[in-house]
A and B are shown apart, each in its own frame.
Chain A
Amino acid sequence: MATPRFWREIPSRYNLIGTKCGSCGTLDFPPRAVCPKCGRKSVGKMMKQKLSGIGTIISYTIVYDAPSSFDLLKPYVLAVIELKEGARLTSQIINVEPGDVKIGMRVEAVFRKLGQEGEAGILQYGYKFKPVTGQGKSPATA
């Protein structure tokens, strides 16, 4: 992904900044300019809000065929996670054996390298998720 395109979204990718609708209070991630529930009423009332980074796995897969930039990670776990504030996102699950991942597992956000632009390009960072301590077997401690 081109550097400016990645750079523009850094606040959300580094710090899980979403938006809270000033009209109905719904939290969205990534940030939205218009609340999907309130429509026009919400315009100009969407406030930035940092999300907890604590959530639950709704579903997941173990990816074996991936783009070349993810070659070193294969196989890796990719999941849809519901944050405790209600918003959902897609992220990798790390620090766990893929076979130990379960729907319903509690996970927390950590800051990791996501990729880089080309072979010698700028490094791109963002969130991945790991099991909340005490769940699953971490390869480091298993």
Chain B
Amino acid sequence: MRGVAIIGVGETQFGELWDRSFRDLGIEAGLKAIEDAHIRAEDIDALYIGNMSAGKFIEQEHVSAIVADYAGLADSHLPTTRVEGGGACGALALLQAYAAIASGLHDIVVVGGAEKMTDVGEVKAAEILSATADQEWETVFGATFPALYAIMARRHMYEYGTTREQLAAVAVKNHRHGALNPVAQYQKEITMEMVLNAGMVADPLGVFDCAPLSDGAAAIVMCSLDRARKFCETPVELIASGQASDTIALHDRRDLTTMDATVVAGKRAFHRAGLTPADVDVAEVHDNFTISEIMAIEDLRFVKKGQGGPATEDGETALNSKISVNTSGGLKARGQPVGATGVAQAIEIVRQLRGEGGKRQVTDAEVGLTHTLGGTGATAVVHIFRRVR
């Protein structure tokens, strides 16, 4: 296997973008990434697109070919592939590109992630998101996506004494970070009272415990590490990846308060990287709900099991503290156009490792990690990145 580097990144604004189409968003992110990498269109060997449900959100399948076509690449006849794995699809697309370059199959690959979610109403969008859970044995009985995470949250509270305030502290922190991110959907700070007083979605999770519905796209250009300097002065190496799966239904899991897929994906990635959780300076974890971030920092071993709530409340995961978690604002504040998420997380880590974090820069960031979930944890993907000296 040869080393793989990220040489270009680009993303759109995240938010409710009524005037922008799926194509508009995909093309904008892709062109920005290509521009950033200083490559020409004819240098690209392949395109991987992470997209969860264009078929349901915009009634359009086969979006990988559309993105290549409208990026003006039809005549290049590029291999283009859409990757789906629930909310983890962007991270999985990145993994496909990594494998393709590491193996020598391709030299320069563009990875895109995009979702256009606001062309359908909120109730319909929520139903589409719930389809990443088990339709036969969960949702048909009235399970919504927030309900399943609320069931995890309640059990976490029962077993570890996690409090409503500790859950809320995740949202408050991520909005504080999001306020420093110019592409975030919400660039506004919120208070603990606002989170606690918001309407309930699925008890104990309220409106501010849930990431929003969003439109947006993100793209990355990758190449072999040995050629990276030719295109980019500040390449970032993708040093290892770990992917794992688990039962599709939450009720079949060994433990409702631990995502074994995250535990295993994290172990695989750290083992391959030859690093430990203590080596990570900055992490983007999948905070589709506040409880998800608490479980993620535990399952990735940044904190002990059961300590995710207190650690967050004590500020250990805030910008430039013990470990900086979700400096972009996370899914909560940056937004969660599902297919774009895994790619956008990687972009935040690249910016941090390049020293381009602006007001939210993590001091001397050397090693960064992304963690992305599909469904209620039936898929987990962990990528580990390092600054190239």
Which range holds the interface residue count of chain A? 35 or more
Contact A67 to B144, CB < 8 A, known contacts A30-B136, A90-B250: yes
**Do residues B152 and A59 form an inter-chain contact, with CB atoms below 8 A?**
yes
Which range holds the interface residue count of chain B? 35 or more
A72 shortest CB reach to chain B, Å? 12
Chain B interface (Cβ within 8 Å of chain A)? Answer: 123, 126-127, 130, 135-138, 140-144, 146-148, 150-155, 158, 199-205, 249-252, 256
Contact A103 to B154, CB < 8 A, known contacts A59-B256, A64-B200, A90-B250: yes
**Do residues B202 and A61 form an inter-chain contact, with CB atoms below 8 A?**
yes
**Do residues A90 and B137 form an inter-chain contact, with CB atoms below 8 A?**
yes
Interface presence of A92 (CB below 8 A): yes
Interface of B is mostly: helix
The 7 A-B residue pairs with the shortest CB-CB distance in the complex, in nearest-first order: A61-B150, A59-B155, A62-B203, A88-B251, A80-B251, A61-B202, A59-B151
**Do residues B137 and A30 form an inter-chain contact, with CB atoms below 8 A?**
yes
* B250 surroundings in chain A (CB, below 8 A): 80, 90
Contact A63 to B151, CB < 8 A, known contacts A88-B252, A114-B140: no
* B146 surroundings in chain A (CB, below 8 A): 65
B299 shortest CB reach to chain A, Å? 17
Q: Contacting A89 at CB < 8 Å: which of B123, B127, B251?
A: B251
Q: Whole-angstrom distance between the alpha carbons of A59 and B150 in the complex?
A: 9
* B251 surroundings in chain A (CB, below 8 A): 58, 80-81, 88-90
A116 shortest CB reach to chain B, Å? 12
Q: Whole-angstrom distance between the alpha carbons of A6 and B147 in the complex?
A: 22
Interface presence of A120 (CB below 8 A): no
- The chain A residue with its CB closest to the CB of B123 is A68
**Do residues B141 and A92 form an inter-chain contact, with CB atoms below 8 A?**
yes
* A88 surroundings in chain B (CB, below 8 A): 251-252
Instruction: Given contacts A59-B152, A90-B250, A92-B142, list 5 more A-B pairs with CB under 8 A.
Output: A1-B140, A66-B142, A67-B130, A68-B123, A126-B141
**Do residues A79 and B202 form an inter-chain contact, with CB atoms below 8 A?**
no
A12 shortest CB reach to chain B, Å? 9
* A63 surroundings in chain B (CB, below 8 A): 142, 144, 147, 150, 202
Q: Whole-angstrom distance between the alpha carbons of A1 and B134 in the complex?
A: 12
**Do residues B155 and A114 form an inter-chain contact, with CB atoms below 8 A?**
no
B268 shortest CB reach to chain A, Å? 21
- The chain B residue with its CB closest to the CB of A73 is B142
Contact A64 to B256, CB < 8 A, known contacts A1-B140, A79-B151: no
A36 shortest CB reach to chain B, Å? 8
Chain A to chain B contacts (Cβ below 8 Å), 9 pairs = A61-B150, A63-B142, A63-B144, A64-B201, A78-B143, A89-B137, A90-B250, A115-B140, A126-B141
